[in-house]
Structure 1
Amino acid sequence: MLEDKIKWNTRYKNNKMPNNPSDILVKFQNLLSGGVALDIACGNGRNTKFLADRGFMCDGIDISDEALKLIVNPNINTHCLDLDICDLKKNMKKLYDVVINFYFLDRKILRTIPDLLKNDGLVFIETFIDDEEYKGNIEARKILEQGELQKVFQGFKVILNEEKWIIRDRGERAKIISFVAQNKL
């Protein structure tokens, strides 16, 4: 959607996005020994660059061409695609050793991730999750339901499944889930 592209281009032009890699990638970097990786909604490439520095050839997808301009690395191929309408199976015609998806939720894409992973491939996900105690102002379609990841990744070996509270950049509380699993299908 054009509105999404404008919103994210503005945020990246104004340098409003983090540059450090995700804590769960850093924590589990011992599992990351090279191969091919896909970063869904990669933004400025903070996580993609982390993987590329560890020997991965990476594909990074994002709607923001401004964000993708910030990624200059010979081991990273960027793709400016609208994930709301993109068919990842059709556009990404290979299997990956690692698929990462941080703070972007599209259930159609989420259900596609197992099909994009090689056997023994790893998935890293971090995003918002529903909590009965606190209803924030995040759109419901952008929040995982309890147990949703376990259903999508049924048969995978779960390495991390941790929920915690964070304070977002606008000062509001939100509950997130950090999830790492390995394809054993």
Structure 2
Amino acid sequence: MSDKRTKWDNRWREKAGHPCEPDGWLLRARDLLPGGKALDVACGQGRNALYLAEQGISVTAVDLSEEALEQLRNEAAVRNLDIRTCRVDLESDPRLPGEGFDLVTIFFYLYRPLLPLLRNAVRPGGIMVMRSLSSAGPFPGGPGNPDFVLHPGELLEIFADWEILLHEEGLEPSRRGGSVAGIVARRPL
């Protein structure tokens, strides 16, 4: 088992039993979300996957941590939800389980080389919902590694050829310090 996977398994083991509420950005975008098939990338304990499944969306959730995926499977069983889970190392072997998703979500995980693959996983007319840490706001702190932080305007650049349905950056502090940026974008037909 890789050191990275062990680190994340330990992190999610420590968080076991904590409330699993969907991200506020996903709730804000709820009226823009399509039905059909969704891919929740770097899902962790599945707070967003659970919410989407409760909305009647067929969800596939991927994460590096088997511990996080097991917690998601257990909570899905308690809620009587059918969520497909796949353990995937998105950085060293980023094979996604399928394509042509109506919705792809990614929250607080930024690995820039993965973004073209995720964009391609969204079917034409489908939606991408993304939210991550950003250096756009006036809030102190945040991750020290710039590889994990969006630059001001970066989401708009990444999705410049898509229809932007909702975008915000630098207006809200992150729990980790710094600010956040989010986008809801529709892939052209």
Q: Which runs of 5+ in 1 are unaligned?
A: none
Aligned to 1:93: 98
CA positional deviation for 1:114: 1.8
Aligned to 2:84: 77
Q: Which runs of 5+ in 2 are unaligned?
A: none
Letter in 1 for 2:45: N
Aligned to 1:59: 60
- Please give the root-mean-square deviation of Cα atoms over the aligned residues, in Å: 2.1
Whether 1:177 aligns to 2:181 is yes
Whether contact under 8 Å (1:33, 1:55) holds in the other structure is: no
Distance between the aligned counterparts of 1:36 and 1:132, measured in 2? 33
After superposition, residues 1-185 of structure 1 pair within 5 angstroms as 2-15=2-15, 19-72=20-73, 73=76, 74-88=81-95, 91-131=96-136, 134=140, 136-163=142-169, 164-168=171-175, 173-185=177-189
Whether contact under 8 Å (2:101, 2:122) holds in the other structure is: yes
Distance between the aligned counterparts of 1:147 and 1:47, measured in 2? 25
CA positional deviation for 1:18: 5.5
Count of residue pairs brought into register by the alignment: 180
Distance between the aligned counterparts of 1:129 and 1:175, measured in 2? 5
- TM-score, normalised to structure 2's length? 0.85
- TM-score, normalised to structure 1's length? 0.87
Structure 1, residues 91-134: CA drift from partner, whole Å, max 9, x if none? 33321000000000111111222211112211111101124855
Distance between the aligned counterparts of 1:129 and 1:18, measured in 2? 25
Letter in 1 for 2:92: I
Q: Percent identity?
A: 29
